[in-house]
Amino acid sequence: MRALLFIIILVGNIFIIPFVNHIHPVVLSMPFLLFWLLIWMIITPILTYLIYRIDNNRQSTDM
């Protein structure tokens, strides 16, 4: 699960950028690439927190 969340972060932030690098469509009066990066700036900390919680739960059950 942890690896899957990490892969989602990598794909969304790095590997998809060439495919969404377009001026049109315009979303919320921003080019689509800017909108994509803004959305991932919100999603990435949430997924990182979930990874942290998974690790924290795994360490507490190991003790």
pLDDT along the chain (63 residues), means of 10: 89 91 90 94 94 87 72
Query: In 3-state terms, what secondary structure has residue 13?
Result: helix
Q: What does the pLDDT read at residue 57?
A: 85
Q: What does the domain layout of the chain look like in residue ranges? A: 2-58
Q: How far is Cα 2 from Cα 27, in angstroms, rounded to an integer?
A: 31
Q: What does the pLDDT read at residue 58?
A: 80
Q: Is 46 exposed, middle or buried (0-12, 13-18, 19+ CB in 10 A)?
A: exposed
